[in-house]
Amino acid sequence: MTGTGRIRVLLVDDHAVVRSGLGAFLLAYDDLELAGEASSGEEAVRKCPEVRPDVVLMDLVMPGMDGAAATRAIRARCPNVQVIALTSFREEELVQAVLQAGAIGYLLKNVTAEELADAIRRVHAGRPTLAPEATQALIHSATQPFRLGQDLTAREREVLTLMIEGISNPEIAERLVVSRSTVKFHVSSILSKLGVSTRTEAVSLALQQHLVN
């Protein structure tokens, strides 16, 4: 929080019209302040140390580095920053992925301005804020037996599929139009979630368990 007592917010969304609307929303509250904007996960990770926000409003489904990966990277670089996933999607997989990455808020984009402002204040104080749909998804996942690979994100499944095809990291980056560092990050996350230490082991396990189509 700045010396003015305002909560600094970084907006992350690949749609300019969404960022514009959220920026206008922040102007309506004396205790909230726009710290900056990012149109991708990679840009958000780069900007976070520069603009030093208190809270990040993070879109989840973006080209390149997705919201969960960006959240994990931001939390590693800037551990004092709190992240709210703000998305149109309510899939269980997305809820789990971004919360595991370190977000403490998950809201749908149909929230009211007052609800969003209150959520920003709550997460800035370290209090989790989840949309009812996100809470239901967590309850459902907690009551289901864990299946290997179920926590892989859609992007990680894409990367894993290309790994199975024997494609190298630079080639995967070119195919998915992302940076090599982003691919390296996804591969590392895949290995961790599958409990293996090499690409070969990951590919072998994925084929044995039919983790991708």
pLDDT attached to residue 213? 76
Tokens in use for 119?
Answer: 């959520």
- DSSP code of 86? E
**68-102: per-residue pLDDT in tens?**
999 999 999 999 999 999 988 877 778 888 888 99
Comma-separated ranges of CATH 3.40.50.2300 domains in the chain: 7-142
For residues 98 and 134, the answer to whether their CB atoms sit within 8 Å is: no
Instruction: Give the architecture (CATH level 2) of 7-142.
Output: 3-Layer(aba) Sandwich (3.40)
For residues 40 and 63, the answer to whether their CB atoms sit within 8 Å is: yes
Tell me: domain 154-206, CATH 2.60.40.10, correct?
no
pLDDT attached to residue 169? 94
Rounded to two decimals, the pTM is: 0.69
pLDDT tens, per residue, the chain with 213 residues: 555 689 999 999 999 999 999 999 999 999 999 999 999 999 999 999 999 999 999 999 888 889 999 999 999 999 999 999 998 887 777 888 888 899 999 999 999 999 999 999 999 999 999 988 777 766 666 555 667 887 888 899 999 999 999 999 999 999 999 899 999 999 999 998 898 999 999 999 999 988 887
How big is the chain by its Cα radius of gyration, in Å?
A: 18
Comma-separated ranges of CATH 1.10.10.10 domains in the chain: 154-206
For 41, half-sphere exposure in the C-beta direction (CA atoms, 13 angstrom radius) is 28
